[in-house]
Structure 1
């Protein structure tokens, strides 16, 4: 009787007859299968193995597999099942290779980071750009919240006070082309909102000044909203006035696209301020400069 059920799922009938399996087994003729059976019958008959307690069961398995492969319908189904197993195994192997490669790449990057080795310049630049864009967006969100709170009557940090900002409500939208980012080295208390307003009024109307609260004790920053775009442009291009101050200022615009503020060209007077004009920390500016240098080296190479 042909093997069925669980036996069909677990037994390779070609292997039982010591025949090649897979596609090669599926191509065998009935004559080749019969020849293999006769050969194995002579070798594995229980009479030839009187001392083997498993001889009878083995010979029965041989007979069952032979009968199974002689049935063309059962054999076609069996060949299809073996083919499906091989394809599934190949897919699993390919997935395993991809998974191992992904893990290997991740471990390699982590090892490089732990060892202090730099990332690929292009990848590092992308990560740094995303981080800086997120910082600028967060700062602008804070500013607009303060503006909205002020418009609705809530307490905010405005032209004549450094109070904590209240929760923002739906309020006024400000043209970003009128917004300036201002930063300076030294104590954050070197400038108050009133002092900055007085200084920037030389270029036109000042709508608002927001002193940003920072943990750093050696650097300060603020956001100044001019009355017009022209006044903002005038304030950006008059570096000499800021550098004549006891504590030099660096002023930069906030781009409409939501990206990074433009890096102003430093004059001879502004070099002494040691500020890049973006409002980011010295460490961030240093990383940004290094990424630029790496990108230039890559282009030259």
Structure 2
């Protein structure tokens, strides 16, 4: 291809005529006229001191012979058209290559000018990923918040509650006028008898009394607390076992009532405890009479 380009001769240009599409429209008479004009100028007799005059004139004669013959001129025009199309195609491809090279250079220059651009891009990607994870986490939290409790969890919770040993629980009652008993204060009082696992206070602003449930770590600590605090008549707290006394309505004696509590509470004394027993008996009797009437 390169050798053809070097050896290619535009015969129209040799005769001083326009080439390309315009050359194909030139008449034979115009070609002859152009040859005669060029011959008068380029004949060797006109250039006796030019060593290349003879070769140049032969070159002119060859171009005239090609263009003056219809067959050879048609072949040359076809060759000229093919070459022109190839030049245009190569020019277009070269333009595309130049544009790609220019774009690449611009990108390289932009990166060279701002080396932190890639760092910012990666940071943005990480930030977007973190936002997505946070959104997914919030969605799971919302879904979990509105889901009904699993039935298995309910059953296990019920079993756990039912297995709680009420023998380790006691109830403390006090007049609201006697002072403010917070959970921390009650825990401090009952920790003198053993480890306190939990304190739950029940208050009612409409009533004169408040109460709390204290969960001890052992039954022994529960017994010690009841025996000690119920025996102190000056103690404003009325301390009782959580499990209610269940006396029969046919026997209301104090001895039978203490026996129903079991051997651990037989020695529990104190005016407050005895008053509470009478209070419970009264309430049970009233409930019994009410049920009889119904």
Give TM class, smaller chain.
0.3 to 0.5
Which structure features the higher share of helix residues? 2
TM-score normalised according to structure 1 size: 0.38
TM-score normalised according to structure 2 size: 0.39
Q: Which structure has the larger Rg?
A: 2
Whose relative contact order is higher, 1 or 2, with alpha carbons under 8 Å and at least 6 apart? 1
